[in-house]
Structure 1
Amino acid sequence: MGMIRINNLRFHTFNGVLPEERRNGQQLGLDIAIKYPIETKVQHDDVHETINYAAVRNVVDEFVTTHSYKLIESLANHLLQTLLTSFPAADAINIKIRKYSVPMPGIFDDVEIEVEGTPNGK
C-alpha cells in the first residue's frame, strides 16, 4: 500500500489548557500520513490520479490556524475528521501532533499524540 507523507508541518497556534498558552500560543508540529494505493491508482503521471499533498497541506493550514482547543487530542480528532471528509479516496489517514512548549517539569523534547481513521468506515 502506498503512503503519502507530509512531515513536520509547523504552526504557531493558541491551543492549551492554561490561559497563558491560549494567550501567547506555542509551536505545534504535525505529521500527516495518508494510505493510498499509489501503485495501482497512479498510472498516467497525472495529479488527478493521486491525493494532492499541496491540497492536504492547505486543508491542514486552514483548519489549524482557525481553530483553538484546550487539548491537542481534540485538535487531532477534529482535524482527522476534516481530512477524512476532504479526501475520501484515502484508505486511512494518520496524524501525529507534537507540542513543544509543554508547561510541566522535566527534560524532554515534546509531547506527541497520534490518531488514525478511515473515511466512511472503510
Structure 2
Amino acid sequence: MTFHTYNGVFAEEKKLGQKLEIDVEMTYPIEEKVKTDNLNETVSYADVYSVIEDFVLKNNFNLIESVANNLLKILLTKFPALNAITLRIRKYSVPIDGIFKNIEIEVSGVQNDK
C-alpha cells in the first residue's frame, strides 16, 4: 500500500510530506477456518486496507516507529480473528544527507488471548 503522508521530525517532512509504503502480513489459519467460499470465514482485505488508509491519512507523527506501533495496536483490536500481524513501513524522500532509497522498519504483534 502506498500513501502520501506528513510524518517526520524535520520541517520539510511536515510541510511537503513523503511517500510511505506499508506491507501487512496477517497470520490467520485459513486451512482450518475457511471451509467454504464465504467472506465471513476470513478477514476482508478491503476492510484492512480501509483501516490502514484512514489511520495513516488522519494521523501524523514525528517517528515512523510511532506510526507502526499505533497502527499495529489498531489492527489487532479491529481484527481479533487474526492470530498475528507484521507491518513493514518504508519511508521515502527522507531529508538526510546520504545515498539511500528509503528507510524501513518492521513491527510484529500477536493477539493477547491466542
Does structure 1 residue 72 correspond to structure 2 residue 61?
A: no
TM-score (ref. length: structure 1): 0.90
SS for the counterpart of 1:60 is: helix
Measured in 2, the distance between the counterparts of 1:121 and 1:40 equals: 18
1:86 match: 78
| Identity fraction in percent | 53
Instruction: Give a deviation string over 1:55-98, Cα, whole Å, max 9, x none.
Output: 00000011011000000000000000000000011110000000
Measured on the aligned residues, the alpha-carbon RMSD in Å equals: 0.9
Alignment partner for residue 45 of structure 1, among 37, 45, 48? 37
Measured in 1, the distance between the counterparts of 2:56 and 2:18 equals: 12
1:20 match: 12
Measured in 2, the distance between the counterparts of 1:105 and 1:41 equals: 49
Aligned pairs, how many? 114
Segments of structure 2 that go 5 or more residues without pairing to the other structure are none
Measured in 2, the distance between the counterparts of 1:102 and 1:121 equals: 38
Bigger RCO of structures 1 and 2 (CA < 8 A, at least 6 apart): 2
TM-score (ref. length: structure 2): 0.97
Q: CA deviation at 1:20?
A: 1.4
The one-letter amino acid of 1:60's match is I
Paired residues of 2:13 and 2:94 also in contact (CA < 8 A): no
Q: CA deviation at 1:121?
A: 5.0
Does structure 1 residue 111 correspond to structure 2 residue 93?
A: no
Measured in 1, the distance between the counterparts of 2:4 and 2:113 equals: 32
Instruction: Give a deviation string over 1:23-42, Cα, whole Å, max 9, x none.
Output: 11101000000000011100
Q: CA deviation at 1:120?
A: 2.1
Segments of structure 1 that go 5 or more residues without pairing to the other structure are 1-8
Measured in 2, the distance between the counterparts of 1:68 and 1:58 equals: 17
- List, as ranges, runs of 4+ consecutive aligned residues in structure 1 with deviation greater than 3 Å: none
